[in-house]
Structure 1
Amino acid sequence: MILELKKSECQSRGLHFDGPINTRGLRYYMSQWEETRYHVDQYLLNESFPMQAVTRGLLGISQELLGLTFHLEEGSNMCHEDVRL
């Protein structure tokens, strides 16, 4: 199904269809297929799940299931202001 979507997109853009989907294109075509098949807009979906709440929830589940403990490292020098250690 995803290959058919790629083939159709290549045809509509006048590009050569080269067959298999590489690793970089897989997520793109999966998102396109979800939008086409289920009418899901990933950007609108992301707005419903704020990063802080999702991160807090995932870390909480990991702590409970795996017995891990996570602590936020304040003042760490990261590559981007959104990155947390």
Structure 2
Amino acid sequence: MAAIRRVAGQLDVHPEALRAWVKRAEIDAGTAPGRTSDDAARIAELEREVRELRRANEILKTASAFFAVAELDRKTK
């Protein structure tokens, strides 16, 4: 921890910021356990895609129900 404080002082950054950067670099290099930056970015991308697809599905379900009701109304008239 002393090394991180010393280097952080030399770089003029907060020691916790430097510690987090070192930890992230170790995880990304595979020398420490955890989710890599690439994996985290891919997961975030997939979660956005899932939200968009769920929204599209809801729109399609609503439209389908609307047109089904409209078709039934048309047939009864």
Is this a same-fold pair by TM over 0.5?
Answer: no
Max Rg structure: 2
Q: Which has the higher contact order (CA 8 A, sep 6+)?
A: 1
More helix as a share of residues: 2
